[in-house]
Amino acid sequence: MKKLITGILAHVDAGKTTLTEGLLYTAGSLRKLGRVDNGDAFLDSDALEKKRGITIFSHQAQLQTDNLHLTILDTPGHIDFASQTQQVLTALDYAILVVSAADGITSYTKTLWRLLKNHNVPTFIFVNKMDTQGADKDKILKEIQKSLSQNAVDFTNKDDDFYENVATSDEEVLEKYLEQGDIDDEEIQKMIADRKVFPVYFGSALKLENIELFLKGLEKWTIQPSYGSEFGARVFKISHDEKGQRLTRLKIIGGELKAKSEVLPGQKVDQLRNYNGEKFEIKSVATAGVVIAATGLSSTYPGQGLGNQKDIIENSLRPVLTYKLNPLNNDIHVCLEKLRILEDEDPSLHVTWSEHLQEIHVQIMGQVQLEILEQIMQERFNLKVAFEEGSILYAETITDKIEAVGHFEPLRHYAEVHLLLEPAPAGSGIQFKNKCSLEVLTKNWQHQIMTALESKEHRGVLTASPITDMKITLIGGKGSNVHTVGGDFRQAAWRAVRQGLMELNLRSQTKLLEPWYDFRLEVGQDQVGRAMNDIQKMGGHFDAPQEEGEYVILTGSAPVAQMRDYAKEVRAYTHGQGNLECIVKGYFDCHNAQEVIAQKNYDPESDLENTPNSVFCSHGAGHTVVWQDVPQAAQFPYQYPI
């Protein structure tokens, strides 16, 4: 029997959870259909989800047909919980992207499509709510082909054009089709698995229209991946059960995992749980191709590779706002303890504690997530708290390359590191490369340097915001067989990054970035002038207005700092009839950089935890050399002209 893991993704209210219910019911796994709006959906079992009528956490369900065992991972549909969706992608064999016939391709649908492409996940598309008035199959298919992929093909009806439409997605297959007039099913399966064809089905999940056809399509057009015999697994989620026991949810990618196995130093798996909704059965062994929840592991994290697998940490959808916790009448240290539990489940919260200020800060995507966070603290931990007005999370990057050097040589210590800092494409984060010869630095020393570089969140020198879109390459260095000890290369590497950033800033080759939203604004005909004027004042831009009946649609981009509270204004001046939808587009040049830099008033030379200066030794004692003078004092030759 074919065994597959699939995830269901969609924009909020597209009917994702309803589709899951329909698939489970059609396969005979549910006796009764539940509904999200009734609060009795099989997978929306959390009290908050029932109250809100939306999926907040990713869940797992299982169904079985004659030839297919399908594990379904349902994911949140709201952009504020996109990090949960992002985590799940590393576990999928196939994905189901749900598109609402009523809403079409939204900005968030495009974001999900980019994530699926980045993770190379084969994808089926289900167009839901075809029973709504005005739903136009041909129009929606054209929109999918225009916005997502030209290779999206209608699989609902295999008409005379079906094979030709499939064949045009690949030149070799097209040649074969023109010669033979047909395509083998195995060839179509392979094209889908290789993301060359994206099957599209049309139906209504609520009315079970074409659900059986879609299920048979999944059964027919998918291929079970092959796995090796060596153990490998990937963590995709951390959660806690109702008793507070920590669960590491992972996909077995090779070999098998047995209960009581030691998968990390000093950490053994106590139990292996196979979940179906809220219920689970205990397994003694988990084989390749399944997802399992393991108890007993204390330091795992989403994206972590176990066995022969490397880590895959995806952070393209990162928070853009930070808020301060107001503990109200609660002990702030108890609040911190509970928030650490939630951060363990969702690392993107990035909980920080200031001992000096006695303050807790969290990072979030938007207002809905903030409201849910308050409710979770209340309902799960009995802590009534509030969050105070947040601030924007800025970032910094560089615009030119430089050779950076760090030296650490207090008495009886020695290390020098040379790095090449280069700009990287927008949205790429920080990349680490090693181009150092083993004749220059031993393998062990190189490993120490690369580990040190990858373990730290590097801060910029303009506002101490995180650095992004930069490539750091190890190109040289020097150690001592007598005096170099653990930690010396770490200090030298960190100082090298800061020294290079300071030098680039002196040359005006650093810049401040801020998050921007992509927005879709729907207002009445008589309010469009006000809306356009507002967006221009924000420093945003928009495409030509599109009329839809008595409403006008404006789409475009604007800085998060300017638009984050605009939804309240829209509701006010449209008397509740307008609608604003925003998703994070990414980080771009800050529209008021000098103002923000002046407000932050950051002094990089006084930041002792991120110092750009180096330590050299002379006359038997260590002394500080300021960053400007480090290139002249360096003891390993520069690889690039100074």
Of the listed ranges 26-40, 89-103, 118-132, 419-433, the one predicted with least confidence: 26-40
Cβ burial of 319 (10 Å; 0-12, 13-18, 19+) is: buried
Q: 232-307 domain in CATH 2.40.30.10? A: yes
**pLDDT computed for residue 38 by the predictor:** 56
> How is domain 321-393 classified at the CATH fold level?
Alpha-Beta Plaits (3.30.70)
Q: Count CA atoms within 13 Å of residue 84 on its CB side.
A: 26
CA atoms within 13 A on the CB side of 61: 24
Separation between Cα atoms, residue 537 and residue 160, nearest integer Å: 53
pLDDT at 641: 65
pLDDT in tens, 252-295: 999 999 999 999 999 999 999 999 988 999 999 999 999 999 99
Confidence of residue 320 (pLDDT cuts 50, 70, 90): confident
- Residue 182: which pLDDT band, with cuts at 50, 70 and 90? confident
Query: Averaged over 75-101, what is the pLDDT?
Result: 89
- pTM assigned to the model: 0.80
| Encoded amino acid at 291, one letter | V
Q: What is the pLDDT of residue 24?
A: 94
**Residue 624 phi, psi dihedral angles, 5° rounding:** -85, 135
The pLDDT score that the predictor gives to residue 53 is 61
Q: What is the pLDDT of residue 13?
A: 85
Residue 46, pLDDT score: 58
CB atoms under 10 Å from CB of 132, counted, come to 12
Question: Which two tokens mark 177?
Answer: 């089709």
Burial of 176 (0-12, 13-18, 19+ CB in 10 A): middle
Top pLDDT among 191 and 36 is at 191
Do 321-393 and 515-586 have matching folds? Answer: yes
The pLDDT of residue 313 is: 74
In order of 75, 321, 364, 377, the CA distances from 371 in angstroms are 19, 14, 11, 10
Angle between helices 566-573 and 528-537 (to 10 degrees): 160
Tell me what the pLDDT averaged over the chain comes to: 91
H or E element in which residue 568 lies: helix 566-573
What's the CATH code, domain 397-508+612-633? 3.30.230.10
CA 605 from centroid of its chain's CA atoms? 33
Higher pLDDT among residues 504 and 486, named by residue: 504
Class of 2-221 in CATH: alpha beta
CA torsion, ordered 201, 204, 206, 208, to nearest 10 deg: -70
Domain parsing of the chain, residue ranges: 2-221, 232-307, 321-393, 397-508+612-633, 515-586
Stretch among 28-42, 82-96, 216-230, 247-261 having the lowest mean pLDDT: 28-42
Which residues are within 8 A (CB) of 5 and not within 5 positions of it... i.e. 6 or more apart?
Answer: 70, 71, 73, 91, 92, 93, 94, 251, 289, 290, 291
Helix (H, G, I), strand (E, B) or coil at 44: coil
Sign of the torsion angle spanned by Cα atoms 108, 16, 522, 320:
negative
Given a cut of 60, whether residue 39 has pLDDT beyond it is no
pLDDT of 45 above 60: no
- Given CATH 3.30.70.240, say whether it is the number of domain 515-586: yes
